[in-house]
Amino acid sequence: MTELHDHTALELHQLLQRGGVSPVELASHYLERIERLNPEVGAFETVTGEAALERAWLVEREVPRARPLWGMPLADKDLQRRAGVPARFGSRAFADFVPDESDELVQAVDAAGAVSLGKTATPEFGLPSYTEGLAAPPARNPWDLSLGAGGSSGGAAAAVAAGMLPFAPGSDGGGSIRIPAAVCGLVGVKPSRGRVPGGSGLASLAGLGVAGPIARTVADAALLLDGLIAPEGYPAAHRFAVRAPGDDGPFLGAAVRGEGRFQLGVLLDSPWDEAYDIAIDEPSRGALDLAVDVLAGRGHGIEELASAPEPGYAEAFRTIWQAGAATIPVDGEREALLDPLTRWLLGRGRAVPARQLAEALAWLAGFEQRVIRRFASYDAVLTPALALTPRPVGWYDPEDGERNFAQQVQFTPFTSFVNVSGLPAITVPVTETESGVPLGVQLIGRPGGEAVLFAIGAQLERRVRRAALHPALW
């Protein structure tokens, strides 16, 4: 018998619109699953069951049904402030912090008619690419609970993969949507810089961090992205945002149709190659080869890009990553509450000279232009989603900051440069390891090229047919 969580988010949206299920019934169903499954998965930092049911009742009676996410359950990443709900940012230093105001992205999902069930887990201040720390149990991969869920949107990905949510918003400053989505067998979308008003990236250092969706299918991801961009529905011209070039959506149509033939590049080198020992393992390369074969069979033009070394990338990006930690609002004795990695980053970041930061920002601005020129003749560029198979819980060194950084780079060499370049990207699961853990690929688009990514992602998804598979705890 098909249960509510067996449906895709798009199917649930259609059920809500037809009156086949109510927002209260849907929220209640997912809250029951969260209560049962979260203790072993660690996807949620905070569950707001009573408030969620009150909100669902309000949506059912007072919010226009035409709102793009009407009645849909989701959860806020715990880097986002929601008024009256604890915002711990994955840190013991903020264990008791309850904000009085909500962030713009939270306001957007409310305006779109969604129902928040709580807060999904994140590592401390979203800094690392795995969701493990001292403030909470690790977020685990529902396909294999001995593995981590990735990060920093690891709780969001674990919740969606386990069927505790139909989809979830995340944030991505160096791969933090795409990494956990790939680890957990999901679709993750990093939009173009400036695309999502409530998470544009324009206010973040070097313009890195943007908001986007994590979902089980390409169409589900497009549905959520449309809601984040235009919470009161398209056209969204009345909402202020610096738009990325290209169409402003809606993107659901491109994801549902999955049409078009395109010129695709295949990228095997990364800008980290000059500074770290980067190697793509056999399963990850196999996932890429499968995707290339599928897309070639669909009639797309495909060619491998020539290598383009960027020996200055590692130093410039490290400077930005460390400098970004300098603004963490923790000082004095409270620093002892931070995780060792965060303390290391905080110390390094606050020691970065202004000249070094300015030089790094200027270097990365030039890098952005070079990447866009390099990719200009392609509609999309295909890479492995990750260089290695998903990592076990506890794999990352929690004490040695230099080794920890190297481990993160070696696992995820194909994500951060997309943030630096401001480009859109999507990860799509295509196969699995011998033990059944999903593996995916990444497609990088032109500035404002989300519609093309959704179309190609839909074609790939239909051919490999992984969207209907679920982990054993489902």
Tally of domains in the chain: 1
The answer to the question of residue 473 being in a domain is: no
The domain containing residue 22 runs over which residues? 12-464
Buried/exposed 74-110: b ≥16 CB within 10 Å, e otherwise: bbbbbbbbbeebbbbbbbbbbeeeeeeebbebbebbb
The answer to the question of residue 471 being in a domain is: no
Average pLDDT over residues 387-391: 98
The answer to the question of residue 469 being in a domain is: no
Which pLDDT does position 1 carry in this prediction?
A: 75
H or E segment to which residue 378 belongs: none
Query: Is residue 390 within 8 Å of residue 183, measured between CB atoms?
Result: yes
The answer to the question of residue 6 being in a domain is: no
pTM of the model: 0.98
Residue-wise pLDDT tens digits, 218-239: 999 999 999 999 999 987 644 5
Query: Is residue 136 within 8 Å of residue 42, measured between CB atoms?
Result: yes
Tell me the CB-side half-sphere exposure of residue 398, using CA atoms within 13 A: 12
| Residues designated as active site | 77, 152, 176
The answer to the question of residue 92 being in a domain is: yes
Q: Is the pLDDT of residue 122 over 80?
A: yes
Query: Is residue 279 within 8 Å of residue 387, measured between CB atoms?
Result: yes
Q: Is the pLDDT of residue 355 over 90?
A: yes
Q: Is the pLDDT of residue 323 over 70?
A: yes
Which pLDDT does position 79 carry in this prediction?
A: 98
Q: What's the mean pLDDT when you consider all of the chain?
A: 96
Q: How many Å apart are CA 390 and CA 386, to the nearest integer?
A: 8
Check which CATH number belongs to the domain holding 216 and give it: 3.90.1300.10
Average pLDDT over residues 63-72: 98
Residue 30's pLDDT band, with cuts at 50, 70 and 90, is very high
The answer to the question of residue 474 being in a domain is: no
H or E segment to which residue 439 belongs: strand 438-445
Residue 371's contacts (CB-CB under 8 Å, 6 or more residues apart) are 417, 420, 421, 423
The answer to the question of residue 3 being in a domain is: no
Query: Is residue 316 within 8 Å of residue 358, measured between CB atoms?
Result: no
Q: Is the pLDDT of residue 180 over 80?
A: yes
Residue-wise pLDDT tens digits, 460-473: 999 999 888 999 99
Which pLDDT does position 467 carry in this prediction?
A: 81
Query: Is residue 170 within 8 Å of residue 180, measured between CB atoms?
Result: yes
H or E segment to which residue 190 belongs: strand 187-190
Helix (H, G, I), strand (E, B) or coil at 360: helix
Residue 12's pLDDT band, with cuts at 50, 70 and 90, is very high
Residue-wise pLDDT tens digits, 234-273: 876 445 556 666 666 899 999 999 999 999 999 999 999 9
